[in-house]
Structure 1
């Protein structure tokens, strides 16, 4: 696997490394390297050499640096000269660039290949609102509907169905979208579809090249039965609650697996782990889904290991009993 070094002036490298881990999950063979105010070129050079030495494969290293021509870049560049046939440097570090680099490591085996690939994503990550402030070429490109296959005979291909109380956020827009490559992200919720503000925020959060929609459950059921307009389309469905997912599946949305990402804590719920909170209705809903043959994939991001939902729910039921008896 290609090793990645994130190098910056000050704590920027550590901060963006932490942000990348929150969105895409913990990563192996990645090291943040910082140049602090009290340090000089030799200090960061020593840090860079130590970071490189920690990698499993030191032949393939990608350096993501904050500023072209700055001290971190200059020291990286000095080390790079002896390895430029395999190493690569990309300056102008931003979070979309880092996440794309993480995703690219899953299918690309060279630093040169990843460096070439991530540049467009880094550029596309720079956006502005109002949209009229964007350069004309960018504004025109943003208006293009990349769902070119819309209208062909056939039904949706469901590439992911996820229960996530946060709906469309960074982990979905980046990590999952890069993994399953949807053409459309559809939030299926009666409540959210009535909220114009949340709907607009979700539509605006869609990654480049993907259309986002917010629709009520009954409409999703009708769409699932439509075999005339959605051929070639790949749908990533987002449900706010397991109850919404159950209603959709009972209505005929053909989902055989549910990815469970997060369930927010609220009054009356217990939290058996960091990201999932349950009340008894949630537990009963999941058990009904399991009886229907729906598989449960408990993961925040694609690189996480799968957790056992039944074990988590057993713990939740014990906590609910303790809560009732207290």
Structure 2
């Protein structure tokens, strides 16, 4: 079984909070970004790798590739799995990836979304997806950084 320390939904994917703060907190040695678009975009990958310390490996896989290879990971790999959307995370879970907990970090506001905290806005599809993940037994929390208290009960918003 893959050693997934935490799965985070953050539409910014890898940035300072992910590449340094969360990695240090979790003790991760691999950040795996699971997103179809970013898996093909070497420019975005290069920009994201700039904020990650050299001692931390990064991988940029499509959802399908993640489903197919994550269980082959070495037990030495301590994986911090990062998805762009809750829909990406649901596809992973439905594909058999053993995700027990999801941290919602950042989901930008846009038209049609309800802002439920300073960093998280949800539309109806997001709410439906999070409900489905919850029904599948995935614990869902919302925190920007590890030492922040969980202030928003996402379940009452979905």
What is the TM-score normalised by the length of structure 1? 0.46
Which of 276, 280, 285 aligns to 2:120? It is: 276
Given the alignment of the two structures, is residue 252 of structure 1 paired with residue 88 of structure 2, yes or no? Answer: no
Could you list the runs of 5+ residues in structure 1 that have no partner in the other structure? 1-154, 315-326
Q: Is the 8 A contact 2:19 2:51 kept in 1?
A: yes
Q: How does 1:112-127 map to 2 (within 5 A)?
A: none
Higher share of residues assigned helix: 1
- SS of alignment partner, residue 225 of structure 1: helix
User: CA RMSD for the aligned pairs?
Assistant: 1.4
For residues 223 and 236 of structure 1, the distance between their equivalents in structure 2, rounded to whole angstroms, comes to 15
Partner of 2:32: 186
Instruction: State the structure with more CA Rg.
Output: 1
Number of the residue aligned with 1:240: 84
Aligned twin of 1:219: 65
Q: SS state of the match for residue 190, structure 1?
A: coil
Q: CA deviation at 1:156?
A: 2.8
Q: In the alignment, is the contact (CA less than 8 A) between 2:49 and 2:58 conserved in 1?
A: yes
Change (3 A) 1:225 1:178: closer
Deviations 1:6-37 (A, max 9, x none): xxxxxxxxxxxxxxxxxxxxxxxxxxxxxxxx
In structure 2, the gaps of 5 or more residues are none
Identify the structure with bigger relative contact order (alpha carbons < 8 Å, sequence gap 6+): 2
Indicate the structure with greater strand content. 2
* Alpha-carbon distance between aligned partners in 1 of 2:24 and 2:70, rounded to the nearest angstrom: 24
1:254-293 C-alpha deviation (Å, 9 max, x unpaired): 0110011110112222212210011100000000001001
Q: In structure 1, the residue corresponding to 2:82 is in which secondary structure? A: strand
Divergent runs of 4+, >2 A? none
Q: Which residue of 2 aligns with 1:99?
A: none
**8 A Cα contact 1:224 1:254, kept in partner:** no
- Cα distance, 1:223 vs structure 2: 1.3
Matches within 5 A, 1:1-326: 155-226=1-72, 229-306=73-150, 307-311=152-156, 313=157
